[in-house]
Structure 1
Amino acid sequence: MESRLLRHTVTSTALLSQIRGVLQRCSKWMRQHKEALGVLLFLLVVVVFIVCLFLIRPQPLFLTPYLEKGAIEEARNLSAVGKLPGVNVKSYSGYLTVNKKYNSNLFFWFIPALTEDERAPVLLWLQGGPGASGLFGLLVEHGPYVVYENMTVGMRDYAWTSRYSVLYIDSPVGTGFSFTDDGGFAQNQDDVVRDLYSALTQFFQIFPKYQSSDFYVTGESYAGKYVPAISYYIHKNNPTAKVKINMKGMAIGGGFCDPEVMLGGYGEFLYQTGMIDEQQKQCVNKQTDLAVWLIQHQNWVEAYKVFFGMVNNVKPYSYFHNATGCTNYFNYMRCQEPENYKYFAQFVMLPSVRLAIHVGNLTFNNGSDVEAHLQQDVMKSIKPWLGVLMDNYRVLIYNGQLDVITAAPLTERFLLTVNWTGAAEYKNASRFYWKLQPTDTEVAGYVKQVREFYQVIIRGGGHILPYDQPARSFDMIDRFLSMQGWV
């Protein structure tokens, strides 16, 4: 034992001597490389800081993995929207994966009815564009919030969400906060509704108490194609679907539903409203006739280019701008779009808002990629689907009297050509005026009704109708959804 202790002591002494030598050499090296060490230490601090930022930055909330593992309550709880700057109401948001191959995810923001009535109908709201975010509808038109210039939100008067639950979805993928890899962009309505239907079935699994609620598909402008497309898809698939959707009807505002028939009315409409003269009308008619000819020959992209070159803000200017001096074709009483249209896009970019609605640092897309991929689809009609839906569901099609881009007379032109069992009755139906209250001196609008189909024109409003005429728009949607009707 003593000899082992001696060997251990000798070994320890030698080891200590070696350690002292190493430390001396290290000390000498550090004195010689003091500046380099400072740089290394700085770089180390930067790396640690970047790693910490990555670990603590808000991440997007993808709900599909929770659904797939059966953690439905956890998914629902996680999707609760956090505190927004200003007033707050209960709502939910997040991402639903609709195509794993292309990493395609649709963003939604769901506002339950503020009355907390679980029997209230659920509305799906789809914006137009193509490529316009559904958050425009939520924050500019009829959601619970109105965005102020100081980037806070207050409560909106006549919000549709005051009485109805509304599901706002950025659709198709690539719209707003929704995203996809290149191969996942929608090329046609079949692609659009395949993804959208996947999102809807996932939504109703995460929020099952709303599955039995009456369901209506709603939207405006180019969503005049999305709304019938997804409604028809639900109609066709519901009988055998695992997740059934209690669809009762649909509503379309200023819908670009049937370009071939609608285009021919532009020249006369612009002329009759005094926006162009006889010579300019001939020019417009020449362009719309060309676009219709291209549609009839299935040259979809060229037809799209002719039409949008005439009315859209292309470089240097559209014909509409050159002829009228106006860039705003949403309301012919306003030459420019209101400044507060833009507030919503600035608002959703705020870090606090991004954190609250679970989008992380993902891009808020302007929709240009969506539009580019749908060029083959823009000028096609959805009229055959619409006829089936009008025979089976409650349908509301409405326009603002002051709209230019999808003017009321253009809607009338195409509705007269829809093939459904009520077509003859519609052609002979009488139109009547309506007021918000019987004692009102002002007329709110005009209504034509055939069976469960309602055509409404609202006075004093344009394309963005709930913004222009919030009280009249709410009264309209309330009469339709509550089945109160107009007579």
Structure 2
Amino acid sequence: MFRLVAFVFLFIITISFIHAADEKYTKPTLNEITSIPKFTPTDTNPLPKSYAGNLPIRSGKDRLFYWYFPKTNSNINDERKDLLVMLNRGPACYFAEMLFLENGVFQIDANQVLTLNSKSFHQFAHVLYIDSPLGTGLSQFSTEVSNFESYGKLMFPGNSLRLKTVFPGATKYVVKDLQDALIGFFTLFPHLSPDKKGSTLNFYTPGYSAKMIPYFIKENSVGGSFTTKFKISSIILGDPFLQPSLQYASYAKFGYVSGLTMYRQFVEMNRKYEQCLTDVENGNYNNYDKECHSLIAGLLENSGNVSPFDIREQSTQQYEQRQAVLNTYVNNDLLPALRSFGSIPTVVTIPHCSKKVNDLFHEEYHLDVPQDVFPSILNTNTPINSAYNTSNVRILVFSQQFNLVSNVFGVNEILRQMLDWEGQLTFNSLNSSIFTIQDMIGGRFKAYGGLTQVVLYNNNYKEGVEINPNFNGNYKIGNVDMVASRYEMVNRYITRADTSMLIDDRDILCGDATKKCHSDSQYPCPSLCSKKGTCNLEKKKCDCQPGYYDNNCSIGRAKYSLNILSNSVSFNNLYISGRDTVVLEVNIQERTSLLDLYLEVNRIGKYGNPFVFMNVSTTADALSSRELKLLAVKQIGYSLLNGYKSTRSEAQSSHEHYFYTGYKTFQFYNTSHDSKKIIDAQDVQIIRNEFQTIAIVIYNAADLPVEFNVTLKANLASGKVQTAGIFLSLSVVMLMVIVFEVVLLIQRSNNRKQFILPKLQERQDIQRRGLLENNNSLVDEDENSEVLTNNNEDIELRQRNN
């Protein structure tokens, strides 16, 4: 009995212990930081107020480390409270780089001495640093691990590391962990919650982390999976790596135009780019290092190993030295001081970037953000007027001029081609405005709807050591370092934003907040309304002619009967200002199942290169105009971006798993460089008595404007193809009959031989037997004759004797 009681008691204690271990981090922790190693506060430079601790994730089984710095001279009763969440460059690098370098609260010198940074973001916003994903920096696992497999199982419980879905496996857990962490943070600081009046939630996400935050926004939007949903005001994507399939292609072009490579290397890099896409498409991830990563590695080697962060530096020595100083300080001084706050394992050395965590994103690193993510964020009309597009979440994308890894050229192409949203055409047609800092040029920017793009001039990691070469007579000659540029850009973007979303961002980055820095001429009607409408300057929109639609009148729709189409229908003097598209949709209803279609596109003038695509389908199954435009760009492939003729047909469009969409192609197309493009399609099948849509897409494959005429004819099928088919079918049938008869004759002959030969043999045998019998009969007859003769002689002899 005693043993039974003891066993039950021990069992209960064990279960309680396991349960407690499973819920190790049940509540977020709050610890005010009263001192920081190697920082000496003074009356003029006191220690900034800050709090650090753990934020529970995964139902308390683990946690993320955070460090929160309230805005300078702020209190909880402030009318405006902007929270800026800082995510590390990632996917496995700690936040200390952002805290002690760049625009962090502190600056660290070569002797590991800390000073305050006057360009820190916490000067104008509440700043929250989070070490994410789990296993990075101070967010170490609660259970120590020694190998990749156990590490991966803790990181992604119950999830395949090779899972490729619309929501990538690794990213799925990172996004959910971030959501859990923020829920815990807002329980500690409820006045910062985005549901409070005057409070905004903003994210600063450079590098790879910029690829994760769109998923986070989508899960917090209507239809998202999160039960608790946060209202996100803005995201700032710095040098983002969003579309590897497109950005990999930019390395060759950026290196070539920057003078880092010669033409031979340019062509070889494009070959490797093709192989890189093939490896990723086929899931051949073991070879991706050879082809994909060799794109940038080869470019650096050909250029003499310039810094990938600043191509003007001949090596990464300065960057590596700064990282070495930071790593030494973090592990020797900061980590022991914060261990009690962060529940960090006793013995751990924190690398700048964790290879173990990075390896968990091995495949997802090469997958593009799905096409439907950004449009779902951007496509929302503003209360101002229907002509201006904004979004529930404002997006700022910035690039640093001399960064190679996520270079300006690749980012430009993402915004120009990949983000298929309602304001895309207008955004692409905008001129940029000058981004000034104290009357000095710090870069250029443009904005439309919820999207703002900035290119920052000068440097990445050095501060104020170069004279800015980008100036003219209206601006001062002087130094504009990258730290100051980022500070001004983020400050203006967040603090000048209207929380009611009733103003747009076109002047939000102007040097003078009271003045606009763009002219109305910078916002003309896009593509000159395709010359099928007039520009309404008051409404900043196109007033399209009847039958033409979209914000640049680039979509033409009409209904015709076959009788009219047989006499041809023309769309004359269509216009495309650059690399853009025009869509023509012709609807017909006929009592036939076959049509002959003749399409002719004539270029007017010497410039431009219109590529022509055509689809025929029922109206119910027809793609939308925007889908048709995107499909045309995909089917062309991105050989135009690469600057050479692709060796593979439809090189980029065959890699459809990047876009997570079903692959379709146009039935008919002409991408020649002739001034007259002709598509002659015979015996095109349609469904009789149902409305059919003949969709025509013209894409200008040149940066120069093009004007052209389009003529379409449709007739009842001539039957040439059908007659040829029938003749061929009959010929095949006749040939089969002849062959059958020949085979039958041969078979009959063989059967006859098989029947006759035995009979003949039998007959021969019979004949042989008959001859023998005859011979025997003759012998017998002779013998009988001889006996008879003898008998007669005997009788005759007896008669004589008598």
Task: Give the shorter-chain TM-score range.
Answer: 0.7 to 0.9
TM-superposed CA distance for 1:349, in Å, is 1.4
Separation in structure 1 between the aligned mates of residue 85 and residue 334 of structure 2, nearest angstrom: 26
| CA-atom RMSD in angstroms | 2.7
The answer on 1:208 being equivalent to 2:222 is: no
Q: Which runs of 4+ in 1 moved over 6 A?
A: 237-240, 463-467
Shifted more, 224-233 versus 255-264: the winner is 224-233
What is the aligned counterpart of 2:109 among 143, 148, 151?
148
Instruction: Please give the residue correspondences for 1:238-277 in structure 2 after superposition, counting only pairs within 5 Å.
Output: 241-242=227-228, 244-277=229-262
CA distance in 2, matches of 1:390, 1:411: 17
State the match for 1:324 in structure 2: 303
Bigger drift between 419-428 and 391-400 goes to: 419-428
Q: Is the contact made by 2:69 and 2:127 (CA closer than 8 Å) also made in structure 1?
A: yes
Identify the range of structure 1 (191-200 vs 292-301) with the bigger mean alpha-carbon deviation: 292-301
Correspondences of 1:209-228 after superposition (within 5 Å): 209-211=191-193, 212=196, 213-228=199-214
Whole-angstrom distance in 1 between the partners of 2:84 and 2:283: 34
Structure showing greater Rg: 2
Q: 1:298 and 1:238 mapped to 2: Cα distance?
A: 29
Alignment of 1:391-470 (within 5 A): 391=379, 392-416=392-416, 417-437=418-438, 440=439, 442-462=440-460, 469-470=482-483
Q: Deviations over 1:161-216 (max 9, x none)?
A: 11111111111111112123521325521121011111111111122121132001
Which letter maps to 2:303? T
Selected match of 1:380 from 367, 383, 395: 367
Amino acid aligned to 1:112: P
What is the distance in 2 between the residues matched to 1:295 and 1:351? 42
Structure 1 unpaired stretches of 5+: 1-61, 68-74, 312-317
Matched with 2:276 is 291
Question: Deviations 1:265-311 (Å, cap 9, x if unpaired)?
Answer: 21011011111111111121111222223344454564465222333
- What SS does the corresponding residue of 2:278 show, helix, strand or coil? helix
Tell me which amino acid in the other structure corresponds to 1:443.
I
Q: CA 1:237–1:120 in structure 2 vs 1: closer, same or farther (change >3 Å)?
A: farther
Alpha-carbon separation, structure 2, partners of 1:172 and 1:199? 11
Letter in 1 for 2:109: Y
Flag the structure with more relative contact order, 1 or 2, with Cα contacts below 8 A and sequence separation at least 6.
1
Label 1:304 to 1:480 Cα distance change in 2 as closer, same or farther (>3 A).
Answer: farther
Tell me the secondary structure at the aligned position of residue 342 of structure 1: helix
TM-score (norm: length of structure 2)? 0.48
Change (3 A) 1:184 1:327: farther
Q: Percent identity?
A: 19
Aligned to 1:275, the other structure's residue is in SS state coil
- Which of 65, 86, 101 lines up with 2:26 in the alignment? 65
Q: Quote the offset at 1:475 in angstroms.
A: 0.9
Answer yes or no: is the 8 Å Cα contact 2:395–2:450 preserved in 1. Answer: yes
- Structure 2 CA distance for aligned equivalents of residues 295 and 285 of structure 1: 16
Match of 1:106, SS?
A: strand
Query: Do structure 1's residue 111 and structure 2's residue 93 form an aligned pair?
Result: no
Deviations 1:295-346 (A, max 9, x none): 44454564465222333xxxxxx32342122252011111333222332222
Amino acid of the structure 2 residue aligned with 1:368: K
Residues in 2 aligned to 1:99 and 1:240: alpha-carbon distance in whole angstroms:
14
Hey, what does 1:477 align to over in structure 2? 490
- Unaligned residue ranges in structure 2 (runs of 5+): 1-22, 42-46, 144-150, 162-169, 380-391, 465-479, 498-507, 511-515, 517-802
Take 2:95 and 2:459, find their aligned partners in 1: how far apart are those partners?
20
* Structure 1 residue aligned with 2:131: 170
Confirm whether residue 99 of structure 1 aligns to residue 58 of structure 2. yes
**CA deviation profile, 1:203-230 (whole Å, cap 9, x unmatched):** 1112212113200122111112122222
CA–CA separation in structure 1 for the residues paired with 2:179 and 2:285: 26
- 1:463–1:320 CA distance, 2 compared to 1 (3 A): farther
The Cα offsets for residues 395-437 of structure 1, whole Å up to 9 and x where unpaired, read as 1000001110000110011112212121121121221222113
Structure 1 304/185 Cα, relative in aligned 2: closer, same or farther at 3 Å? farther
When residues 301 and 381 of structure 1 are mapped into structure 2, their CA distance, relative to the original with a 3 A threshold, is farther
In 2, Cα distance between the equivalents of 1:227 and 1:206? 23
- Identify the match of residue 178 of structure 2 among 190, 196, 221: 196
Q: Which residue in the other structure is 1:335 paired with? A: 314
User: Which structure shows the bigger proportion of residues in helix conformation?
Assistant: 1
Matching residue's letter, 2:231: N
Number of residue pairs the alignment of both structures matches: 407
CA contact (8 A) 2:243 2:368 kept: yes
Look up the SS of the partner of 2:221 in the other structure.
Answer: helix
Distance 1:465 1:204, change over 3 A: farther
1:370 counterpart = 2:353: no
Specify which of 116, 122, 131 is matched with residue 83 of structure 2: 122
**1:280: which partner in 2?**
265
Distance 1:455 1:463, change over 3 A: farther
Give the match for residue 44 of structure 1.
none
Closer, same or farther: CA 97–308 of 1 in aligned 2, 3 Å: farther
- String of CA shifts for 1:230-254, please: whole Å, max 9, x gaps: 2222235789744x53311101000
Residues 363 and 105 of structure 1, relative CA distance in 2, 3 Å threshold: farther
Cα pair 2:437 2:488 within 8 Å, conserved: yes
Stretch moving more, 299-308 or 286-295: 299-308
* Aligned 8 A contact 1:109 1:169 in 2: yes
> Is the 1:149–1:343 contact (alpha carbons within 8 Å) kept by the matching residues of 2?
yes
Residue in 2 aligned with 1:12?
A: none
Structure 2 counterpart of 1:411, one-letter code: V
Segment of structure 1 superposing worse, 341-350 or 447-456: 341-350
Q: TM-score, normalised by structure 1?
A: 0.77
The one-letter amino acid paired with 2:98 is: G
8 A contact 2:64–2:181 mirrored in 1: yes
Q: Does 1:160 align with 2:118?
A: no
Distance 2:378 2:459 in 1: 25
Q: Give yes or no for contact 1:104–1:179 (8 Å, CA) kept in 2.
A: no
- The amino acid that maps onto 1:253 is G
- Are the structure 2 counterparts of residues 141 and 63 from structure 1 closer, same or farther at C-alpha, using a change threshold of 3 Å? farther
Output the CA distance in 1 between the equivalents of 2:260 and 2:328: 33
* Residues 441-466 of structure 1: CA deviation (Å, up to 9, x unaligned): x3111111111210000010348999
Contact 2:220 2:226 in 1 (8 A): no
- Contact 2:239–2:400 at 8 Å: present in 1 too? yes
Q: CA deviation at 1:100?
A: 5.8
SS at 2:68's partner residue? Answer: strand
Whole-angstrom CA distance in 2 between matches of 1:248 and 1:428 = 26
What is the aligned partner in structure 2 of residue 347 from structure 1? 329
Distance of 2:175 and 2:462 partners within structure 1: 24
Superposed displacement of residue 347, structure 1: 1.6
Q: Distance in 1 between matches of 2:436 and 2:270?
A: 36
Supply the distance in 2 between the matched residues of 1:451 and 1:465 (Cα, whole angstroms): 33
Is the aligned partner of 1:390 residue 2:364?
no
